[in-house]
Amino acid sequence: MSAAGDRVLIAGAGPVGLVAAGYLRRAGVPVTVFEASEDLSLESRASTFHPPTLDMLDVLGVAAPLIAKGLVAPALQFRTKRDGRIAQFDFGAIADATRHPFRVQSEQFKLTRLLHERLAGDPGYAIAFDSSVEDVAQDAASVTVTIARRGRRVTERGAWLIGADGARSAVRRALGIPFEGFTWPERFLVVSTPFDFHAAVPDLVSVNYVADPEQWHFLLEIHGMWRIMFPIRPEIEDAQATSDDYVQAQMAMLLPGRRGYEVAHTTLYRVHQRVAESYRQGRVFLAGDAAHVNNPLGGMGMNGGIHDAVNLAKRLARVWHGETDAGELDRYDRQRRGICVEFVQKQTIQNKANLEARDPAAHEAFKKRIGETAGDPQLAYQYLLDAAMISSLRRAEALG
């Protein structure tokens, strides 16, 4: 295949869209990426890269530079405010299952820039900024997208379309695919600070889940900064939740006697658990947040989206080259949607329930369970396979 209309079109130049572009170009498939913004995003957003995700990025030659720009996190901890550390898991235990037995903490915009820089200059790669996909039409042989570009509406044609255009996906809406699920009543507040928590808590690691019946939090280190995530009750107004006084009051609960943190940035956002009814409709596919969203506890959103991109791009490349028929593409929906419903949604919901358990018996039961898991090598090994999303990838393959 070689005509201009045989390109794979991709809506969205985030990590999912550009990983898909990278894998397709590696297989010799021409791509055009449409990005609604005037440049690649600089938003921090997701910041955790799991071991198998790093393995996938290594194939594109961007794992090493991403690791160099980020922070290697070889372990994660569970803590409570009263007890301190109650369990620690070291990724070195799963070195037999991955080439990268650690997490990397790095803002997602660093990855998108690495991918774009590697693809730039490749004649089979095109990217159009200020180009928002607004509508989609398809027939048996092609897909046509309507693009809003600098006040004009234009159309572009390709062989296939990947909708990686986020949770408010215009591609998904154009296809009329329901986005089923729910929105959590509380919002999440993320506070970034350069405060040195390692100096204040000597046994702390870079990834810390702190369970508490009153106000749990998640403490995550990136290069030169810590990000702390708190749940915000529904009755608290947005303006109050992001005010200096309220933010400092939340931060004051982290360490006894510590006040007046330097705050570099705050973000308040609503949290959803939703899955598209289908990831494929004819020649159009959904991937990443366009296909599924979940709470960030466990770092499974962006990673799952990258796993979508790799699974789909490999299959599309085989179909594009005529190595298999288009029926192969049904496996993408079966595997990736299947594992999202069966594993990712359930796991992220359970992660939240573990941290926020208000019933004293449930709180104590979680502490006992997680401590016993960390203390048993076989249980800890399985826990790490699950937390690193290796189990979900293996289960997806088993779905056929």
- One-letter amino acid for residue 282 of the chain: G
Place of tokens 């770092």: 299
Placement of tokens 């870079």 in the chain: 206
Strands 8-11 and 31-34: parallel
- Rounded Cα distance between 226 and 105, Å, is 10
Q: Does a structural domain hold residue 256? A: no
Number of domains, the chain: 1
For residue 147, what pLDDT is reported? 97
Q: Coil, strand or helix: which one is 49?
A: strand
Q: Give CA separation, 269 vs 54, 167, 272, 348, 382, in Å.
A: 27, 13, 10, 17, 32
Neighbours of 4 (CB within 10 A): 10
Query: How far are the Cα atoms of 193, 213, 252 from residue 368, in angstroms, in the given order?
Result: 32, 15, 28
Q: Say whether 365 sits in a helix, a strand or coil.
A: helix
Give the amino acid at 6: D
For 83, other C-beta atoms within 10 Å of its C-beta total 11
In a domain, 288, yes or no: yes
Residue 212 lies in a domain: no
Domain-located, residue 266: no
CA pair distance 34, 127, nearest whole angstrom: 6
Let me know: does 333 contact 177? Beta carbons within 8 Å.
no
pTM, two decimals, is: 0.96
Residue for token digits 């160099």? 68
Write out the H or E segment, with its range, that includes residue 147. strand 143-149
- Per-residue pLDDT tens over the stretch 221-279: 999 999 999 999 999 999 999 999 999 999 999 998 899 999 999 999 999 999 999 99
Domain of residue 82, CATH code: 3.50.50.60
- For residue 358, being part of any structural domain is answered with yes
CB-CB contact of 176 with 136 (8 Å): no
In a domain, 268, yes or no: no
Q: Mean pLDDT, the chain, as a whole number?
A: 95
Residue 216 lies in a domain: no
Which structural domain, as residue segments, surrounds residue 130?
Answer: 4-180+273-398
* Mode of pairing for the β-strands spanning 160-163 and 284-286: parallel
Q: Within the chain, which residues score under 70 in pLDDT? A: 1-4
Give the distance between the most distant pair of CA atoms in the chain.
67
Closest CA to 73 of 58, 60, 54: 54
- Angle formed at CA 126 by CA 123 and CA 130, multiple of 5 degrees: 155
Closest to 169 (Cα-Cα) out of 177, 157, 180, 158: 177
In this prediction, residue 162 carries a pLDDT of 98
Give the DSSP letter of residue 378.
H
The answer to whether 20 touches 320, Cβ cutoff 8 Å, is no
In-domain check, residue 202? no
Token pair of 193 as six digits: 């600070």
Give every strand in the sheet of 265-276, ordered side by side.
84-90, 75-80, 207-211, 217-222, 225-232, 179-193, 265-276, 292-293
